[in-house]
Structure 1
Amino acid sequence: MTVPSWMPLPIDEVRVRVFEAPLPDPVRMSFAALASRRACVVEIRSGDLTGIGESWVNHPAWAWRERVATLEEGAVPVLLGADARDIGALRRRLTARLLPLGRQWGAPGPVWQAISGVDMALWDLAGKAARRPLAALLAAPDGPDAPLQEVPVYASGIGPDRVEELAERAVARGFRALKVKIGFGEERDVAIVRAARAAAGDGVALFADANQAWSVPEAVRMCAVLRDHGVQWCEEPVDGNALADLEHVHAETGMPLATGENVYTLDAFTRYLASPAVAHVQPDTAKTGGVTTALAVGRAAAAHGTGFSPHCYSGALGLTAAAHVAAAAGAAWVELDVRDDPLRTELTVPPPEASGGALRVPSGPGLGVTIDEERAASRTVHSARWTAR
């Protein structure tokens, strides 16, 4: 069914489900360990059409409970009965209602993560109503080319353990770039970088992610070390991620830097884009404002000549949305975690598929994927729905 563009899409129902997959071996990062994969999925129905989106809930372990509450009490009253087509108006209403609370709470991030899931679901619904892939819907109408059918990906999630195994697995799958997790002390970090390089060979690009592990002096010292070991860029080297600190590190070391997964609002992204310190900007479709913000950042990055490399450390929906945005806006890279993640490989039909260093962009309407209900059933830890009266 194609819904004429002039017809409204009244929101009849909102559903939120949380899926969980415990990990036999927790994933260690510089600030915490991830013991379970989780996905908070937002579903927005209008008539026979349902859009699906994902809200990032990796940390802390109880983040999904906050997200469900924010969506139920903050977002659902705005959504029910509203016209799903008017994504801009709904975002304005959501931000006007929720961001002042986020500021007082001292936690604007969770608010934006909730909005991200809603925004992604609305765009998926819009694509389904138009019977067009999301990438085609997002592409500039006067653009010279059709959206890409596949986008370049780099392998992330490598380190601090299983470095050789994961690097070799990534290279065998055709990845041409790897990103290692660091921030565990200089000796350990250097060992991680060396092990990844030895396993991957000289023809594979190497990036590093410190997850804001260092003070400015530590970042200066470590970025110089990483540069000498052939690391092409370092992600989030400084605690707090302040632009002035990143610029100091870059000026002292010459190391190109990457950031964006913890940057919120287009205005904030624009300040990072304007800096010579930031080589790659990394919005996250499930975290930093959804498809709308990621697309705007991608277009702004092109205008500034900055690399656009969407961050993704969530499930199948976040990765699929990132692929569509990257295809529409053009991207240097999209992040793809190569560690085992059932919520990436089993949650949707089709699952995201990467080969030869590229991720296929689904060609179906909207995101082009559906929830695999049979597999999802055993992963469900929360489910709630609300309907318009």
Structure 2
Amino acid sequence: MSTSHAIRHVRITPIAFRDPPLLNAAGIHEPWALRSIIEIETAAGLVGINESYGDLPMLEALAKAAPALQGLSPWSLNEMEARVRALVTPPKQTTSEFLTQQVSLAPGTHVSKTVAKVISAFEVAMMDLQGQMANAPVVDLLGGAARDRVPYSAYLFYKYAEHIEKPYAPDAWGEALKPEQLVAQARRMIDQYGFQSIKLKAGALPPEQEAAGILALAQAFPGTPLRIDPNGNWTVETSLKIVQQLHGVLEYYEDPAPRLDGMAAVARECDVPLATNMVVTDFAEFRRNADMGCPVKIVLSDHHYWGGLRATQQLSMLCRTFDLGLSMHSNSHLGISLVAMTHLCASVPLLTYACDTHYPWQDEEIVTGGRLKFENGSLRVPTGPGLGVTIDREALARLHDNYLRCGIRNRDDLGQMKKYDPAFTGVQPRF
């Protein structure tokens, strides 16, 4: 390897951007979402970029592992993984802690995912470098494009009109607590982005009310594939009752009940395929699902905590082997993360359903040229070298300043919800 291609520096910049008051099973989104921007620079001055989680434990893990990349070739992904694993070891967990995390809203925050998250954060930036060096898009480094565009789904939320602290003006989407408000939200999102399917984040309001929302969407958008995601906040009994009310309406049923045992109990009496991003979140959990006869039929992957782009390709092969569907999970993110996800999805022949994305809920951006453009609900796969996007330095400085001023260092949907309802416990399943 030429010394000019060796990695000489890794920069981690925490950022924050505005997030609406979106309701979920754990509570409500805080006014600011946290992310980190990773830049890996070679001795020749090439810079590979990525976007990942930005909570304090993640920043600490990235900072701990970053020095190990110095002197590595951008092509040395296996060595990078070995060095990260040697440096970043998650703390041991008690059984009660593990079970609690199994029903957590955000698997990506599990300490058990720390190593995989750091590997993914560095892998994507190193592959961005590889693409620049080879003058090829990341999708080609992953084997080539199985499709030239990737479909995404409208991602609806029940929400309040504004945050209780009112750090900025009410967001443009307004309140959505009633079925007619939900339909209006969907219509606006579909008109603006052209999405061909709809997902509803549930588990926040009484289940009957959320079922009414899905039925209203089915009436307003006949023939459009619909999904509902209570994030494990319903009991098995409630899950079965609601799916009966939604007979013939759902494309798939995402995480209605907590834990894999709960999902299996639902699957035994439900003819709608079950999907998850909560109970099959790594290869060990995939094996347990397989050992139980695959009650979960659709895995919603996320390269941020599965261990990267290549690991997700391995997951795709397993899904094909076990005749399971595959799609992608999302969290609050900006364009770098969305582009990495798009390259990955384009490289995977097995992509059974349109992917999730929170992107319409963000109004800021960090990539040069501003917001990414959807066409009929899909994103074209960038054809430029690497990820095909670069960082807008003014935007990076502005969003980093947001981070310094916002006062948030760890996502806390429960704590935020207690500002609205002090009696809210967040205990799952709630309904």
- For the aligned pair, the TM-score class normalised by the smaller chain equals 0.7 to 0.9
User: Cα gap change, 1:100/1:171 in structure 2, threshold over 3 Å: closer, same or farther?
Assistant: closer
The alignment status of 1:28 with 2:23, answered yes or no, reads yes
Please state which structure has a larger fraction of its residues in strand: 1
CA distance in 2, matches of 1:229, 1:182: 18
Quote the offset at 1:187 in angstroms. Answer: 2.2
In 2, Cα distance between equivalents of 1:11 and 1:340: 35
| Cα distance, 1:224 vs structure 2 | 3.1
Q: 1:223 to 1:177 in 2, by over 3 A?
A: same
Q: TM-score scaled by structure 2?
A: 0.76
Q: Is the 8 A contact 2:48 2:129 kept in 1?
A: yes
Counterpart CA distance in 2 for 1:155 and 1:369 is 24
In 2, the alpha carbon distance for the partners of 1:266 and 1:99 equals: 18
- Conserved in 1, the CA contact under 8 Å of 2:231 and 2:278? no
* 1:26-105 correspondence runs (5 A): 26-35=21-30, 36-47=32-43, 48-57=45-54, 64-73=55-64, 75-101=65-91
Alpha carbons of structure 1 residues 211 and 356: separation in structure 2 relative to 1, 3 Å: same
Contact 2:23/2:157 (<8 A) preserved: no
Question: Are positions 1:255 and 2:272 aligned together?
Answer: yes
Contact between 1:158 and 1:180, CA under 8 Å: does it hold in 2?
yes
368-377 vs 95-104, greater mean Cα deviation: 95-104
Q: Conserved in 2, the CA contact under 8 Å of 1:158 and 1:338?
A: no
* Shift of residue 78, structure 1, vs aligned partner: 2.1
CA distance in 1, matches of 2:368, 2:58: 25
The aligned counterpart of 2:151 is 152
Residue 103 of structure 1, CA deviation: 5.2
Q: Is the 8 A contact 1:284 1:312 kept in 2?
A: yes
Deviation of 1:7 after TM superposition, in Å, equals 4.6
Counterpart in the other structure of 1:12: 8
In the alignment, structure 2 segments of 5+ residues that lack a partner are 99-110, 160-175, 405-431
1:348 counterpart SS class: coil
Q: How does 1:154-193 map to 2 (within 5 A)?
A: 154-159=153-158, 161=176, 162-172=181-191, 173-183=193-203, 184-193=205-214
SS in 2 for 1:218: helix
Conservation of the 8 A alpha-carbon contact between 1:207 and 1:234: yes
Instruction: Give the C-alpha shift of residue 285 in structure 1.
Output: 2.0
- Alignment-mate amino acid for residue 65 of structure 1: L
User: Cα deviation per residue 1:201-226 (whole Å; 9 max; x = unaligned)?
Assistant: 11211011111212333333333333
Partners of 2:234 and 2:393 in 1: how far apart? 42
| Equivalent residue, structure 1, for 2:312 | 294
1:134 equivalenced with 2:138 (yes/no)? yes
Shift of 1:233: 0.8
**Structure 2 counterpart of 1:204:** 224
Amino acid at match of 1:260: N
SS in 2 for 1:282: strand
Contact in 1 for aligned 2:84/2:115 (Cα 8 Å): no
2:74 corresponds to which letter in structure 1? Answer: A
- Once residues 262 and 92 of structure 1 are traced to their aligned partners in structure 2, the CA distance between those partners, rounded to angstroms, is 26
Aligned sequence identity (%): 26
User: 2: CA distance between counterparts of 1:337 and 1:91?
Assistant: 29
Q: Which sits farther off after the overlay, 367-376 or 267-276?
A: 267-276
Q: What displacement does 1:157 show? A: 3.3
Are the aligned partners of 1:120 and 1:321 in contact in 2 as well (CA < 8 Å)? yes
Match of 1:342 in 2: 363
Q: Which amino acid in structure 1 is aligned with residue 59 of structure 2?
A: V
